[in-house]
Structure 1
Amino acid sequence: MPPKVRITDDAILDAALAITREKGIDGVNVREIAKALDCSIQPVFRNFQSMENLKNALYQRVEEEHNAAMEKGLQMHPIPFLGLGMAYIQFAKEEKNLYKFLFMSAAIPKKGFLEMIKEEENQPIVDLIAQMTGLPRKTAEELFMDIWLMVQGIASLVATNDFEVSEAEIEKILKDTFLGLKMQLAKTEEQ
């Protein structure tokens, strides 16, 4: 009977996630993971074969956490789209290193911003904006892109400690930006 595997993929990913939270993705290496698990480096390479495979799996794990936070933001705020933006910025504030790994690191190749906006999973958000504002779908997509640039900028500043701002201030900035952009886009539609 072969020996029972003591170090699982999940245990390795949990250790890598903890290291990323504490030190950032640049702090994640096989020795650090092995040290956290109190084992040799062999189980890490046996389970993931390479650091690239491990970082890809870690990216998926962090993305799942991020998506769960975004879903909660959509459901918890009376204005779902505003809740999404608030949750995105809150994630950057509370999980600085995870946010940087997902959105500011070259460790994993990422899709471009416009590609992300057009992804299938974001289409219900565009539909929600069109429904909320009465704007045509194409214009709602523009509004989503414009406001998301603002959200991304604030989140990046928060994640790098370059911007101290309260939740109330963030909400006001996002509301004002949303309403201003909506008004401008509606005016453009009328012309």
Structure 2
Amino acid sequence: MRTVEYSAQLILDRSVRLFNEGGLINLKVRTVAKAYDCSVIPVYSNYTSQQGLSKAVLRNVFYIFENNLVDSLKSHKNASLHNPYLHLYSALTCSRGLIKEVINNNKNVIDELVRITYKYFPNITIPELKTYIFLICLIINIKSTKVFDDLNLSNAAFSKVTQSFLKKLN
């Protein structure tokens, strides 16, 4: 008989990985248990429900997003605090799960991303931040499909085009 300890932190870490592979759809308790070759008992004993697991994962992912945003702000001191593009792009690139949820128009995820971002960019309106977040998620998603590889478009050139587009929206 095999005995393996599945701590809440281990389940959370592995669930965050699953989330980043495909969003909240990957956080079904049975999917988490199957992915890590255990029964549903360790998941339920640590998180009591699928919603409990999802909330813990989202809390963790938002925490990581905010830390990445702060790190970007620190490392790009010359970048404008009036233009969140570069910072959001940096922070969102690290979370494919958040990108998927934004593209799927998950209002709760979008609202929380806006709430976090607004703390660092209070001069930008909420609708503008939502637009930035949505478009940046679309851009990251498009880039991940390698659609533009044939065009030989560098990251800097792609970034310049999208920033120009965002400026025109304002």
Give the alignment's TM-score, normalised by structure 1.
0.63
Cα deviation for residue 15 of structure 1 reads 1.3
2: distance between equivalents of 1:160 and 1:172?
A: 16
The residue that corresponds to 2:32 in the other structure is 33
The residue that corresponds to 1:168 in the other structure is 156
User: Where does structure 1 lack aligned partners over 5 or more consecutive residues?
Assistant: 127-139, 182-191
Cα deviation for residue 172 of structure 1 reads 6.1
Find 1:154's aligned residue among 105, 112, 135: 135
Cα deviation for residue 52 of structure 1 reads 0.6
Partner amino acid, structure 2, of 1:168: A
2:26/2:32 contact within 8 Å kept: no
Matching of residues 1-191 of structure 1 within 5 Å: 6-77=5-76, 78-81=78-81, 84-101=84-101, 103-105=102-104, 109-110=108-109, 112=111, 116=114, 122-126=118-122, 140-142=123-125, 146=128, 148-161=129-142, 164=148, 166-169=154-157, 170-171=159-160, 173-174=162-163, 181=170
1:74/1:80 contact within 8 Å kept: no
Give the alignment's TM-score, normalised by structure 2.
0.69
Larger Rg: 1
1: distance between equivalents of 2:80 and 2:24?
A: 31
Structure 1 residues 83 and 150: alpha-carbon distance in aligned structure 2, compared to 1, 3 A threshold: same
Q: Percent identity?
A: 18
Partner amino acid, structure 2, of 1:58: V
Cα-Cα RMSD: 3.7
Cα deviation for residue 145 of structure 1 reads 5.0
2: distance between equivalents of 1:15 and 1:36?
A: 9
Structure 1 residues 95 and 159: alpha-carbon distance in aligned structure 2, compared to 1, 3 A threshold: same
Partner amino acid, structure 1, of 2:118: N
User: Where does structure 2 lack aligned partners over 5 or more consecutive residues?
Assistant: none
The residue that corresponds to 1:132 in the other structure is none
Q: State the aligned residue count.
A: 159
Q: 4+ residue stretches of structure 1 with deviation over 6 A? A: none
Cα deviation for residue 176 of structure 1 reads 8.0
Cα deviation for residue 161 of structure 1 reads 2.0
Deviations 1:115-136 (A, max 9, x none): 94xx59734532xxxxxxxxxx
2: distance between equivalents of 1:79 and 1:107?
A: 29
Cα deviation for residue 29 of structure 1 reads 1.8
Deviations 1:24-64 (A, max 9, x none): 32122222222333321101011111101110110001101
